[in-house]
Amino acid sequence: MEIMHHLVFPINALPSSQMVEEGIDEILWKADVKFEALRRYYEQIEADVLFYFSDVVIQAEAMGAKAKYSRKMMPAVEATARVMSLPDPAQVPRMAVNANVLRRMAGEFPYKLRAALVYGPFTVAGLLAGEEAILRKLIDDPKEVLSLLEKTFECARRYALYLVESGANLLWISDPLAGLIPPDQFWDFAGNFLRRIFELFASIPTILHICGDTYQIIQAMVGTGVRGISFDNCMDLLAVEDEIPKDVYIIGNIDPVEVIELGSPEEIISRTTDLVSMMALKNNFVLSTGCAVPPSAPIENVRLFLETGRKSFADLRPHIPLLSEISRNVYTGNGEETKQGVAAALEDGVEPLTIISSGLTRAIRKGSTMYEAKSCFLPAILLMVDAFYKGFQALENTLELGGSKKSSIVLGTVKGDIHEIGKNLVKIFLETYGHRVVDLGVDVDEDAFIRAYQKYHPTIIGLSAFTTESRKEMGKIISAFHREGIREVLFVVGGAAVNHEVSRSLGADGYARDAVRAVGMIEKLLQQSEVGV
Amino acid sequence: MTKGVIRVTSRMLKYLRVPQDDQTMEIISSVLEETVGLIDIKKWSKCVLVDDFYELFHPYARSSKSISKLLGRAEHVYLIVVTLGEDLGNRAKEYFGKKEVFKGYILDRLGSFLVEEEVKKIDLEITRQCKEDGHATTHRYSPGYGDFSIKAQRTFFDLAKDTIPGLTISHGCLLSSEKTVSAIKGVIKSGY
């Protein structure tokens, strides 16, 4: 288990194409060029797991599909296979290139994990027969699919063995198309084949990556016997952590495009630190990207991600037992124990902000994900919030006032309405996530909202309404801002009188049906506004 | 005015949706005890002829299709107002202010549960009485439901304010305290 403890790496090595003059089409066919690109890339970035620059079409092409190459893009299947063959990998030029590269990487980077990235039998079958066709055949002709899968399984097995014999010491299977199989058919058409492969490579670490939302197939993925599961960036790791046994790595899941390729340095640092601060308490967490980093991603961004991740782990590592205890006590609603835990952590020299993010807030976020998955009701989260505040009060004297707060948000129940419990809950949840919240109270008219905007310059204004009469005020308030020429602020709405449709008709930027979801929605809006989406 | 011992019931727990471990149950019991000390239940009800009802609640009753449908065969209409008083809501706010959110929330939910229970009692009593007299009743309906305007609460306020001192109404026509319910219930004479 210790072999991958708190490692940091990006998936695949596609940005290495920037290290040589040759295009991707040449890199894929020439061992010397590919190895040189990888050598330079991995000298510039300190990744813990190395990849050999793999592409999804290689197995399908070896079995008969026609691939299309270009200088700047990764290859794609141009035509499905007419005649299917089962190749000897050593006789397939591009597979031989990869084996050659892995042999040289073993010499150059002898102490690193070097991944044999192989594509899963279902994905390769989809490339051979056509993605839509294979998914249709799951219903129309499952026997034919199984027969094809036996062939793609054998190809994957041979290729994996060839790469491992050539210098790989970790087997990584990516099976992107398998995420499209209906969950009740996943085992028969993907899981069982993956299990057979992983069983053959039990002596080395094995990792499975399936793109997209895999909540419904997590148990089947674990059932393959794989030693690590790499999650897509669309997944919330706090929601899956309890589903994964302690001896299976949870790997993920920084967005490779929005954050690594397109993100600002500040965003890379903040997202990476945030993920590590949430997940480092799990001994089986490995920091990576949620999918392959694109070829055009700036290398300095990849390096910043790795450096930030490694530093975050190092900062947290000595304090993990104390932070875990705080988080556990908040999660179970034990306020007094939380307070004691915070005091002990302060005594141990843990930074107050670390106690908040990795101890107190982590539990609330986990609670929120459980709530969204309908695994608990609101009162259970409120018990956590109470425990959070017990711990937070023990910290208050140590925090610089306002210095650590995120963007400010103005909230109010609109004119004509006096209901406030929902708004109050939103305020409290936002505060537990570190936002500065200005609460204008109830029965608030458009002038008061405009004055508050001019005074606090919030990023978001939240309007609450309980009755159908008062919700008309929401539209008036939004229009009043537009009339005044104020368009920089985002409006979110909530309350019993509002739903998605009403929210859209009001011209609001966001809606959530309860306080827990409101925080998630607001966090997302803030992230989008930061990256200028 | 009713105030007595209120026990934690399974229906109440189902309504509150709380985790049922010992620690939580202890908090619930103490909040319930506190609630009983804070509530000041006041009720007002009156039975009027259906024509008088339409007159009193003009224009909101006549313009409401839901009300026309509900009272289509009714001869009389019961008007009901029940409130728990201000103290409960104020205490809930205090808890929120002190960041004891769970207690504040539970106090608020218990208020909603108990005011609804009181209205239900009146509802059942009216139904029982009417049945004894050989009449049927409609179900209960409140301003703010469907197309029965919340502004109809202004009439409830005018009618009940002398019996329920401290009852107030906002310019948005919400009765205060927040834990106040107003409702109507039609009586259909036998033979219809």
Instruction: Inform me whether the C-beta atom of residue B172 falls under 8 Å from chain A C-beta atoms.
Output: yes
Q: Residue B102 and residue A418: Cβ atoms within 8 Å?
A: no
- What b/e sequence results for B147-173 when a residue is b if at least 16 CB atoms lie within 10 Å of its CB, and e otherwise? ebbbebbbbbbebbeeebeebebbebb
Are A385 and A500 in the same domain?
Answer: no
Q: Residue A376 and residue B19: Cβ atoms within 8 Å?
A: yes
Scan for tokens 């809006």, then name that residue. A525
Are A69 and A200 in the same domain?
Answer: yes
Are A495 and A381 in the same domain?
Answer: no
Q: Is residue A175 part of a domain?
A: yes
- Write down which residue in A397, A423, A448 finishes a domain: A397
Neighbouring residues of A165: CB distance < 8 A, sequence distance ≥ 6: A99
Are A485 and A363 in the same domain?
Answer: no
Closest Cα partner for B177 from B40, B44, B80? Answer: B40
Are A380 and A480 in the same domain?
Answer: no
**Predicted confidence band of residue A523 (pLDDT cuts 50, 70, 90):** confident
Give the closest of A379, A425, A428 to B17, CB-based: A379
Task: Suggest the residue from A421, A430, A437 to mutate for an interface test with chain B (most B CBs closer than 10 A).
Answer: A421
Which residues does A contribute to its contact with B (CB < 8 Å)? 333-334, 376-380, 382-383, 385-386, 389, 392-393, 415-421, 424-425, 428, 443, 467-470
Question: How many residue contacts between A and B have a Cβ separation below 8 Å?
Answer: 82
Cα–Cα distance between B129 and B121 in angstroms, integer? 12
- Does residue A122 register a pLDDT over 90? yes
- In chain A, pLDDT over 70 holds for what percent of residues? 97
pLDDT tens-digit series, residues A490-499: 999 999 889 9
Are A108 and A174 in the same domain?
Answer: yes
Are A78 and A180 in the same domain?
Answer: yes
Q: Is residue A324 part of a domain?
A: no
- Does residue A12 register a pLDDT over 50? yes
Give backbone dihedrals phi and psi of A491, rounded to 5 degrees, phi first. -105, 130
Domain range for residue A522? 404-530
Instruction: Inform me whether the C-beta atom of residue B151 falls under 8 Å from chain A C-beta atoms.
Output: yes
> Taking chain A, what is the end-to-end CA distance rounded to the nearest angstrom?
40
Q: Is residue A260 part of a domain?
A: no
Chain B: nearest CA to A379, how far in angstroms? Answer: 5
Q: Is residue A268 part of a domain?
A: no
Question: What local confidence, expressed as pLDDT, does residue B3 receive?
Answer: 52
pLDDT tens-digit series, residues B86-128: 999 999 999 998 989 999 999 999 999 999 999 999 999 999 9
Q: Is residue A226 part of a domain?
A: yes
Give the closest of B96, B173, B176 to A424, CB-based: B96
- Does residue A402 register a pLDDT over 50? no
If 0-12 CB within 10 Å is exposed, 13-18 middle and 19+ buried, where does residue A177 land? buried
Are A392 and A409 in the same domain?
Answer: no
Q: Is residue A48 part of a domain?
A: no
Task: Suggest the residue from A386, A427, A470 to mutate for an interface test with chain B (most B CBs closer than 10 A).
Answer: A386
Q: Supply the pTM of this predicted model.
A: 0.82
Are A431 and A366 in the same domain?
Answer: no
- Does residue A259 register a pLDDT over 80? yes
Chain A nearest-CA residue for B13: A379
CB-CB neighbors (< 8 A) of A333 in chain B? 23-24, 102
CB-CB neighbors (< 8 A) of B99 in chain A? 385-386, 389, 392-393, 428
Task: Give the CATH number, domain containing residue A509.
Answer: 3.40.50.280
Give how many domains chain A has, as a whole number.
Answer: 3
Here the tokens at position A104 are 């040289």
Q: Tell me the mean pLDDT in the region A284-296.
A: 97
Q: Is residue A301 part of a domain?
A: no
- Write down which residue in A397, A431, A452 finishes a domain: A397
Q: Residue A379 and residue B174: Cβ atoms within 8 Å?
A: no
Instruction: Inform me whether the C-beta atom of residue B24 falls under 8 Å from chain A C-beta atoms.
Output: yes
pLDDT tens-digit series, residues A306-364: 999 999 999 999 999 999 999 999 999 999 999 999 999 999 999 898 999 899 999 99
Q: Residue A469 and residue B19: Cβ atoms within 8 Å?
A: no
Question: What local confidence, expressed as pLDDT, does residue A138 receive?
Answer: 96
CA distances from B44 to B1, B7, B61, B83, B165 (A): 10, 25, 20, 9, 11
Q: Residue A379 and residue B105: Cβ atoms within 8 Å?
A: yes
pLDDT tens-digit series, residues B126-164: 999 999 999 999 999 999 988 999 999 999 999 999 999
Strand-pairing partners, residue B152, are: none
Instruction: Inform me whether the C-beta atom of residue B192 falls under 8 Å from chain A C-beta atoms.
Output: no
Q: Is residue A187 part of a domain?
A: yes
Are A196 and A63 in the same domain?
Answer: yes
- Write down which residue in A364, A397, A430 finishes a domain: A397
Are A381 and A429 in the same domain?
Answer: no
